[in-house]
Amino acid sequence: MKKLLLILLSFFSFGEFLFSDEKSELEGLNPTYGLYFNYNFNIYNVNFRQLPGVPSCCPKFETGTGNGLAAGALYELSLPYNLNIGLRAGFNILNGTLQQTEPTLVKVDTNIVNGKFEHVLKATIYNISAEPILSWNFYDNFSFHFGAHLGYTILSTFKQYESILEPADRGVFVDSRSRVRNDTSGDIPDINKIYSALMLGVSARFPLNNQNTLFICPEIFYNIGLNDVVNGINWKINSLRFGASFRWIPKKTYIKDTIIPEEKIYRFILDTILVEKENIEKSYVTLGKPFRDLKIDSFPNKIVITEIIKRTDTLNKRPNPKVNMAFNTPIISISSQFISEAYPILPIVFFDNNSAELQPYYKRIDSRKNYATNLLPNEPLKYHENILNIIGERMLLNPHTKITLKGFSDSSTEDGDCDLAKNRCETVKSYLVGSWNIEPERINIAPLKSPCVPKLVTHTRNDSGYAENRRVEILSDNDELLSPIYKKHIGKSSTFSPPLVKIDPSGSSTQFIKSWEINATQEGIPIFNLRGNGKPIPTEHLFSDENALRLKSNSPLDITMSITDIDGNTSTQTKSINIVNDTSDSETERLSLILFKVSSDAIPEQNKRILKQFIKDVTPQSSIMVKGYSDILGDDDKNRSLAERRAKKTAEIILNSKPEIQSVDIIGYGSLEYPRGISSYSTPPERFLSRTVQIEIQKNKK
């Protein structure tokens, strides 16, 4: 009995455990209460000849059947997945009869004849049982059941006898002189009080009311006996049970609970350890083992559940490339001879016949950012092509200056037309205002008086003479606007010692290198650049005259080498080389003075001031050459004579300003030789720029 109770307790503890784990899924389902009534068809499986201590001459009982019933109460609980767990407690009748026939001799009157008699053993067995059952609702209202019958026997009696079957109407046993013998009854000896069986069954469920609280459930079970009825003999009882159960599932009363909302937060904390390894082509990450931590914080209106996942990874990385470079020299010496030149500007804009449109010859700009005078080539005609841009740039740099425009037309081909002359002035003004954003009030147009021809008109009766009169002159009281353009360049090739710099990258990384680059700068100004793919190799740079112009003395040349590996990691190293710039003992300065009027040797006052400023630092040891030039509008002798007079007057100003100067040479070329930067006399700008003198000063430094 104790074992039976222990089994039942374990079964329901397991069911309660399953039920509690799935509480959220079962919410809304009620327990089931009910009664069941079954008819039992009992089947005896036996193999014995007699009960213990009960005489019997039966050779062996083998099978038997009987009728009974099973009735009781049931209780069920719902589980997930269409499962139910239940318990039945009931009363069971397991009665049955064992029968075995046997031939015998029967006395009929005075004769002994052959006959048959039957061994009969009737058993009356009652028990009370507990039946734990697991049910599965496999389709709609149909369920399959699996369980156990655990019974305790409360009544077990037997009745045993032998009776004659044949002949049926007469005859008695010889020994008992009766048709019945060995008639015995009593309690079944050595009864096994515990009866157990395996239960298999199916059932259906049909509602009996609209509320779906009452149900009738037709059912059929088959019990398979597991232990013997009597100790020591082979006697098991199987039962086929069919009947119905009546069930009540009460409506559940819901009680509203206060649900505190939960907020879930996930935090991922990733830490990375860097490990540098040589000779690995690609970096890779070794993932660490994640560690989880749960933190629960309760607040009046919510519960915050924070899941913290921590992981420490290892980044296996090749070190950044190593840079190590060496030079062939710590110092670079530069020997150069410099020439300083002053290029005049021609503040005149020429126009085509009867036109006020700018000639295509003059350069126009789309944006001021794209223009700089110091980037123009050292050529007088290039400067004149950009005369309006030069004036515009200088007016921006000198915002308080003003200019005056004087417009002219040719008397022969344009009849000295003042309207045309004014329109030409408006064209010049419009360009400066529109392209250079010069305030209109800073540009004056001089009053015109008919005929609008130049005061010193070119009288040559051909197209060259006429073209020079179709112009606009730009005048200003400010010398900054119309001053020459000063440029410095190397007259002879510079000498570097050593002539080149050698860069040796020995000691730098050579594996897994994508590219390398060398940049040399001085005070942020680029000097040279070298680059290549793959591992760095020894390289060199041969210095040029352009480098000599950019390099300053006593300022280091900074050389930076950068190496990039295949992963894009770049390392750099910067080293410096000292620069010593040793210029030669002499320096040449050149000044072109303009503009002489046509056929005139008078030096304009502005040019006198420029000349005196140019020679103020000339030493007595310096030598000066003054070269005179003219245009082609005249014969060669007149032009040469005019050029010599221009040169002499220029030399007089030099000697008067610097009487200590020992030597001033003059020469008049006329139109037989072009001035520097002029290659023809075909255009008005070339002819105007040819009416000049060029002063060349050779300064001795020692």
pLDDT for 240-298, tens place per residue? Answer: 999 999 999 987 665 555 677 888 888 888 888 888 777 787 778 888 888 888 888 88
- Whether residue 28 is predicted with pLDDT greater than 60 in this model: the reply is no
- Whether the per-residue pLDDT at 13 is higher than 50: the answer is no
Q: Whole-prediction pTM value?
A: 0.44
Summarize the confidence of residues 581-600 as an average pLDDT.
68
247 touches 33 (CB < 8 A): yes
The predicted pLDDT at position 256 comes to 56
Specify the pLDDT at position 587: 66
Distance of alpha carbon 6 from alpha carbon 487, whole angstroms: 116
Per-residue pLDDT averaged across 416-428, rounded? Answer: 94
> Among residues of the chain, what percentage have pLDDT more than 70?
90
Amino acid 19: pLDDT: 42
Mean pLDDT of the chain: 85
pLDDT band, residue 17 (cuts 50/70/90): very low
Q: How many CA atoms lie within 13 A of 634 on its CB side?
A: 21
- Of the two residues 528 and 29, the one the predictor is more confident about is 528
CA-angle at 91, arms to 87 and 93, nearest 5°: 130
pLDDT confidence of residue 491? 58
pLDDT band (50, 70, 90) for residue 579: confident
Residue 110 has pLDDT above 90, yes or no: no
Up-side HSE of residue 185: CA atoms within 13 Å toward CB?
5
At 455, the pLDDT band (50, 70, 90 cuts) reads confident
SS3 for 295?
Answer: strand
523-532: average pLDDT = 91
Region 193-215: mean pLDDT is 94
CA distances from 119 to 63, 181, 523, 590 (A): 12, 10, 131, 157
Tokens of residue 354, six digits: 């009867």
Asked if residues 27 and 259 have their Cβ atoms less than 8 Å apart, the reply is no
Least confident of 261-275, 298-312, 430-444, 581-595: 581-595
Q: How far is CA 385 from the centre of its chain?
A: 53
How do residues 66-93 score in pLDDT, each as one tens digit? Answer: 999 999 999 999 888 889 999 999 999 9
Tokens describing residue 357? 């449109």
* Model pLDDT for residues 116-133, shown as the tens digit of each residue: 889 999 999 999 999 999
pLDDT at residue 176 tops 80: no
